[in-house]
Amino acid sequence: MLLVNVQDLTVRSIKLLLINPTDSDAVGNAVIVANKANIPVITLDLAYKGNVISYIAPDSRLGAKMAADFIAGKLGNDVKVIQLEGISVTSDARERGESFGQAVKSINSICWLVNPLIMIGQSVKR
């Protein structure tokens, strides 16, 4: 789907392409198509080893710690925090989840539960 969208954009005279890939290997053909059309490419969140002019990366670990500190500051003492995660397909998502858990566990006044439920379709099981 990404490749089809990039092919469509190349005929629309765009000046720059920003791509936020979920798979840094799979984005390769889309970058090649943009390069052939002389469209500069910037990737976000995940780096691509091919011909891109820039890569903009978040600091997922710092962001997760900031989120945990913010929650602790807002909720106060003796609270329960439940961390629900979807399927972590990117390294950034995994880093955010792990770092948030570490940060919350380091705050003694918070009870931290990670993924307490397994969701299947519309039903929820414990």
Question: Using one digit for the tens of pLDDT, what is the confidence trace for 90-108?
Answer: 677 788 888 888 887 777 6
In a domain, 78, yes or no: yes
Range of the domain at 29: 3-56
Position 42 scores a pLDDT of 93
93 and 47, same domain (yes or no)? no
Three-state helix/strand/coil letters over 16-44:
CEEECCCCCCCCHHHHHHHHHCCCCEEEE
Domain count, the chain: 2
Position 13 scores a pLDDT of 85
Report residue 92 as tokens.
């950034």
79 and 99, same domain (yes or no)? yes
DSSP codes, 66-84: HHHHHHHHHH-SSEEEEE-
State the CB neighbour count (10 A cutoff) for residue 63.
Answer: 15
59-74 pLDDT, tens digit per residue, is: 888 988 898 888 888 8
In a domain, 82, yes or no: yes
CA dihedral 20, 24, 25, 28 (to 10 degrees): 40
In a domain, 126, yes or no: no
52 and 14, same domain (yes or no)? yes
Q: What is the CATH number of the domain that holds 30?
A: 3.40.50.2300
Domain boundary among 56, 76, 94: 56
50 and 82, same domain (yes or no)? no
71 and 51, same domain (yes or no)? no
pTM over 0.95: no
